[in-house]
């Protein structure tokens, strides 16, 4: 007999897990199916996780779903500075947007999704277990069908099972959306491509460099020439002992003039300001003399690796109050000063015995990419199909307006709304589209985030204009004309916003989200008003192959992607736009080598695209 | 009390991974500088025991003979198997034991485990120089049916019969999978390629539950640990350690590598010309051979 469950949630990202936690909080049984072997290994973000308090209406925040969030969750730093930099060559002009960051916000924390999602999973999993449910990871859902009222779910790994309600939280490249036909694949106009690297940097160096206290952090956004003329921008966020450095660009802008994602991050890393942000002391191994006997070569290689590992570990601990305390308390060192002398000793050994050099450079730990749905353009109008409710990226929801980058919090809010709708259906044992789907759809309509995806918020705009009050009007005015001049005036702003909203986002967006906004204006600002910056070194930028070599995969011999038309213009662009160079041209045709795929979804539109089977594919360590 | 009682014999071994292993100038392993961990084959045996925990709610005991620091191998095995009990057999008297003397200690240890043991798991062999004999010898001393190279098993709890698949490599020919049946109790030496599979949602949920329990237990592994010296174990001193070891390893020699009989030429790079060069070479060597 087939196993049967009340609710099946497909996808264990921040959205799916919040749905599981909320359902369990409401005393309902639910299971969650996640493709990654460990929950959190497939998820990637920028990322700042917000908790919001809109003036009208209410949203469900992360700390409402997980009451222990603030005390216990592995959050990185509370963002207390939010800066927007306009760049041109070595010139940088800075606007302080901390007020915009704090606008209607309880807090914004920098987060790394691997560890945070794992924490969500622990909380949600424990609650779910009490209701007879839980999390099943390493399982990939491949089809849904409705032989009767219940949905039969088939996976690549398990015997089929059935559920009365399904919550689709399977991300921007949702296969559930494709299987059910609930929506078409997103088009380039509706998407951004996000790419980022994790840079290692010891804790107290971050605090000194960014001028933030313990537990505090900074967010820096970049526009101007670092975008290589694409619409979008770069970011650098401080985590506890790493930085997240990346870029998010409109996918259609990349389609017009394809640029390698890796090149886009490199452009950012080469900017003198960012280069100075990421720099650190780095040990460089000496090439081993190939004339030495094999045994001696091995000994030198292993000894160097071991000493460098020790040097790194001790140094990371040394630059962290908790790290120093831990080493002393564990009895490994008598005093903190002893740690420092040990580091010096190891460094000296490495230099004198193994010819290791110590140079200024930066250390990249992880490279990653993913599509981001632009909620303004692709949020599902009715995010359900039969008894399946769509949430988060799967529903195309997220608030991305200028420097406002919010997907995580939106997905969590959706999750609570979906869970509440499902719980109500369970109480009535009515999972019909009228009773459950329509009800959920209405709750989504009521979400303040939905409003933000459709309308300009004049108060948010004001903060912007206030921050930019010293910007010469001619730079802005000549481009945006009448509308913006109206908005700069306090009394007329309401009128202007009203007018803009009548015009509608679809008409307004091409005007605002343009090369002018993201490239020309910032470049002009930087050139006219920026300060000069110089980097003291040139970062050694890894090649794509080196970046891929550092990633962890669980290889699947079978490809999860099938190229449909190897001659199409779209596929030819993938040769450039695939972040890990999976595509190449051979004999005029585009061919795919899927092994390095990081499941970003960039090529999904014109391929038969699935996530890999359970446990297979990319395994992010930071995310 | 559980309906199925399982014991796992594990071993502490050097960690051969880069960054952790250390060699002396003469190329031999520097044991003092190299970290020790649960041996990879022992890890597979622990996984096999965990399978019974998930499917049958088995009670699991993990045992090892070794120095006091071998308790970390037990901790790591507990993390994998959610063991209910950990045994460390540690005594100077055990030093210098060969496989037979080790088997004597392990056999005696099994009798100290709570409940009557139905299945004993061991790894295929150790990675730091062992011959794969400890398992069969322990089984023989216990009087259990020995099943080696097992890649899959399940227990019919009603009839108390084990059905197992054994991977048999006919060297130079092909591999065959043999299916065997044996009544409990049995001793299973698990093949390195063993991988447990859990095929239903409820099995996966049980898996998650026990895995979480295992994490908690392994954090407090000392609560589950019992250490036995020779006297507490009640072994016969003549049968353990050096006196109980009929074989003595008196020298380990490196096997000199045979001189390559083939001549190789390395062509670096992947340009068209370089590839053409490789193709020409292959063609020259293969001469008239047609490759399909
Ligand atoms: C570079 C970048 C920067 C960003 N910056 C920010 C930021 O600063 N702040 C912010 O709030 N948001 C940011 N976002 C957006 C945010 O990261 C996403 O909105 C959010 O992570 C989406 O969560 P989700 O749970 O909806 O989807 P995902 O995290 O994508 O989760 C989907 C899950 O479903 C699983 N899955 C998929 N298909 C199947 C299947 N068939 N069977 C089983 N499992 C399946 C996947 O393995 C995955 O774990 C950023 C995104 C990117 C890429
Ligand atoms: S193959 Fe497609 S999904 Fe995979 S990394 Fe490349 S573009 Fe992204």
pLDDT of residue A271: 97
The DSSP bridge partners found for residue B37 are B13
Mean pLDDT value across residues A589-598: 97
**The domain A77-110+185-279+362-372+514-550: what is its CATH number?**
3.30.9
Q: What's this model's pTM, rounded to 2 decimal places?
A: 0.84
Q: How far apart are CA A363 and CA A546, in angstroms?
A: 13
Please give the structure tokens belonging to residue A483: 């509308």
Chain A residue closest in CA terms to B16: A302
pLDDT of residue A443: 98
Strand locations in A478-592 (E): 531-532, 552-554, 561-563, 583-586, 589-592
**What are φ and ψ of residue A234, in 5° steps?**
-105, 165
* Residues A391 and A418 sit within 8 Å (Cβ to Cβ): yes
Residues A298, B25: C-beta atoms closer than 8 Å: no
- Please report, to the nearest 10 degrees, the dihedral formed by the alpha carbons of residues A475, A478, A483, A487 taken in order: 30
Q: Any idea where the domains of chain B sit in the sequence?
A: 5-239
Confidence of residue A479 (pLDDT cuts 50, 70, 90): low
Query: Is the pLDDT at A566 greater than 80, yes or no?
Result: yes
Return the residue whose CA atom lies nearest to atom 22 of ligand 1: A393
From the CB of residue A419, how many other CB atoms can be counted at a distance below 10 Å?
A: 30
Cα A12 off chain centre by: 15
Mean pLDDT value across residues A585-596: 96
Question: pLDDT, tens digit, for every residue of B128-166?
Answer: 556 678 888 999 999 999 999 999 999 999 999 999 999
pLDDT of residue B291: 46
Q: How many CA atoms lie within 13 A of A172 on its CB side?
A: 31
Mean pLDDT value across residues A193-219: 97
Cβ–Cβ contact B266 with A under 8 A? no
Query: Is the pLDDT at A331 greater than 70, yes or no?
Result: yes
Q: Which of B205, B211, B270, B275 to mutate to test the interface with A (most CBs of A within 10 A)?
A: B205
Q: Of the given ranges (A153-162, A238-247, A496-505, B8-17), which has the lowest mean pLDDT?
A: A496-505
pLDDT of residue A500: 67
* Residues A73 and A122 sit within 8 Å (Cβ to Cβ): no
**Nearest chain A Cα distance for residue B238, angstroms:** 41
Low-confidence ranges of chain B (pLDDT < 50): 291-292
Q: How far apart are CA B103 and CA B237, in angstroms?
A: 13
**The domain A557-615: what is its CATH number?**
3.30.70.20
Pocket test for ligand 2, best of A368, A582, A592, A605 (most atoms within 8 A of CB): A582
Ligand nearest to the CA of A8: 1
Q: Which of A133, A134, A155, A294 to mutate to test the interface with B (most CBs of B within 10 A)?
A: A134
Residues B19, A159: C-beta atoms closer than 8 Å: no
pLDDT of residue A368: 98
Sign of CA dihedral A410, A423, A116, A366: negative
Ligand 2 pocket (Cβ < 6 Å) reads A 561, 574, 578-580, 582, 597-603
CATH 3.30.420.10 corresponds to the domain A3-73+113-183+380-454: no
* Residues B77 and B10 sit within 8 Å (Cβ to Cβ): yes
| Contact map slice: B 76-135 vs A, CB within 8 A | none
Mean pLDDT value across residues A128-150: 96
Chain B residue closest in CA terms to A158: B199
ipTM over 0.90: no
User: What residue spans in chain A does CATH classification 3.50.50.60 cover?
Assistant: 3-73+113-183+380-454
Return the residue whose CA atom lies nearest to atom 31 of ligand 1: A13
Q: How far apart are the first and last CA of chain B?
A: 63
Quick one: which H or E segment has residue A463?
helix A458-467
Query: B5-239 belongs to which CATH class?
Result: alpha beta
């Amino acid at each position: 007999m087939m196993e049967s469950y009340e609710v099946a949630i497909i996808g264990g990202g921040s959205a799916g897990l919040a749905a599981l936690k909320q359902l369990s909080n409401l005393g309902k049984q639910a299971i969650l199916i996640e493709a990654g072997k460990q929950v959190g290994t497939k998820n990637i973000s920028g990322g700042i996780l917000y908790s919001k308090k809109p003036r009208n209406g209410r949203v469900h925040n992360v700390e409402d779903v997980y009451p222990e969030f603030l005390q216990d969750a592995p959050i990185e730093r509370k963002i207390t500075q939010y800066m927007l930099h306009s760049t041109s060559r070595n010139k940088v002009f800075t606007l302080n947007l901390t007020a915009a960051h704090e606008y209607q916000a309880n807090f914004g924390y920098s987060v790394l999704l691997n560890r945070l999602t794992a924490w969500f999973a622990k909380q949600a999993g424990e609650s779910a277990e009490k209701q007879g449910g839980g999390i099943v990871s390493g399982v990939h859902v491949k089809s849904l069908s409705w032989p009767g009222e219940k949905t039969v779910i088939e996976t690549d790994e398990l015997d089929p099972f059935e559920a009365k309600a399904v919550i689709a939280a399977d991300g921007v490249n949702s296969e559930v959306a494709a299987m059910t036909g609930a929506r078409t694949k997103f088009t380039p106009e509706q998407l951004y491509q996000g790419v980022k690297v994790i840079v290692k940097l010891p804790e107290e160096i971050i605090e000194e460099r960014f001028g933030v206290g313990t537990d505090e952090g900074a967010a820096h956004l970049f526009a101007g020439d670092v975008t290589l003329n694409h619409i979008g921008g770069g970011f650098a966020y401080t985590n506890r002992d790493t930085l997240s450095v990346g870029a998010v660009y409109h996918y259609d802008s990349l389609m017009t003039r394809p640029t390698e994602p890796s090149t886009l991050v490199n452009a950012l890393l080469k900017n003198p300001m960012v280069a100075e942000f990421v720099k650190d002391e780095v040990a460089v191994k000496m090439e081993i003399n190939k004339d030495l006997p094999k045994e001696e070569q091995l000994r030198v290689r292993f000894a160097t690796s071991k000493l460098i590992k020790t040097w790194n570990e001790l140094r990371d601990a040394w630059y962290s109050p908790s790290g120093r305390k831990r080493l002393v308390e564990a009895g490994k060192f008598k005093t903190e000063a002893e740690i420092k002398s040990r580091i010096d000793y190891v460094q000296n050994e490495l230099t004198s015995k193994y010819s290791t050099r110590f140079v200024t450079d930066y250390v990249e730990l992880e490279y990653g990419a993913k599509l981001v749905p632009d909620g303004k353009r692709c949020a599902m109008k009715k995010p359900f199909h039969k008894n399946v409710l769509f949430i988060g990226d799967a529903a195309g929801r997220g608030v991305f307006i200028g420097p406002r980058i919010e997907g995580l919090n939106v997905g969590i809010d959706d999750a609570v709304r979906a869970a509440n709708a499902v719980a109500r259906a369970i109480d009535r044992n009515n999972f019909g589209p009228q009773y459950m789907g329509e009800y959920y759809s209405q709750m989504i309509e009521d979400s303040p985030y939905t409003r933000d995806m459709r309308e300009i918020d004049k108060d948010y705009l004001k903060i912007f204009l206030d921050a930019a009050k010293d910007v010469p009007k001619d730079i802005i005015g000549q481009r945006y004309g009448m509308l913006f001049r109206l908005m700069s005036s306090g009394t007329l702003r309401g009128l202007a916003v009203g007018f803009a909203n009548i015009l509608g986002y679809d008409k307004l967006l091409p005007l605002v989200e343009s090369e002018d906004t993201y490239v020309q204006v910032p470049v002009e600002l930087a050139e006219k008003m920026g300060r000069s910056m110089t980097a003291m070194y040139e970062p050694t930028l890894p090649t794509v192959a080196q970046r891929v070599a550092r990633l962890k995969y669980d290889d699947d011999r079978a490809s999860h992607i099938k190229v449909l038309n190897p001659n199409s213009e779209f596929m030819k662009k993938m040769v450039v736009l695939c972040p890990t160079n999976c595509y190449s041209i051979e004999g005029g045709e585009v061919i795919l080598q899927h092994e390095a795929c990081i499941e970003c979804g960039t090529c999904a539109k014109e391929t038969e695209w699935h996530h890999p089977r359970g446990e297979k594919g990319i395994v992010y360590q930071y995310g | 009390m559980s309906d199925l009682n399982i014991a796992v014999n594990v071993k502490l071994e050097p960690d051969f991974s880069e960054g952790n292993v250390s060699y002396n100038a003469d190329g031999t392993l520097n044991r003092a500088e190299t970290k020790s961990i649960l041996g990879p084959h022992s890890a597979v045996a622990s996984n096999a025991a965990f399978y019974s925990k998930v499917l049958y709610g088995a009670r699991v005991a993990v045992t090892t003979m070794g120095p006091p620091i071998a308790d970390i191998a037990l901790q790591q095995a507990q993390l994998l198997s959610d063991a209910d009990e950990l045994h460390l057999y540690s005594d100077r008297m055990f030093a210098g034991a060969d496989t037979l003397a080790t088997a004597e200690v392990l056999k005696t240890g099994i009798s100290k485990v709570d409940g009557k043991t139905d299945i004993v798991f061991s790894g295929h062999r150790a990675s730091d120089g062992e011959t794969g004999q400890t398992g069969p010898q322990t089984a023989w001393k216990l009087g259990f049916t020995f099943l080696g190279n097992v890649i899959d098993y399940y227990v019919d709890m009603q009839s108390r019969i084990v059905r197992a698949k054994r991977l048999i490599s006919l060297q130079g020919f092909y591999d065959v999978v043999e299916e065997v049946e044996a009544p409990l109790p049995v001793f299973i030496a698990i093949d390195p390629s063993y991988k447990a599979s859990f095929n239903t949602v409820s099995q996966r949920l049980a898996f998650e539950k026990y895995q979480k329990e295992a994490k908690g237990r392994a954090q407090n592994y000392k609560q589950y640990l019992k250490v036995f010296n020779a006297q507490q174990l009640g072994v016969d001193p003549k049968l353990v350690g050096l006196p109980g070891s009929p074989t003595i390893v008196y020298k380990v020699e490196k096997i000199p590598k045979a001189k390559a009989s083939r001549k190789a030429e390395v062509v670096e790079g992947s340009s068209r010309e370089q590839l053409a060069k490789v193709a020409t070479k292959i063609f020259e060597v293969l001469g008239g051979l047609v490759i399909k």
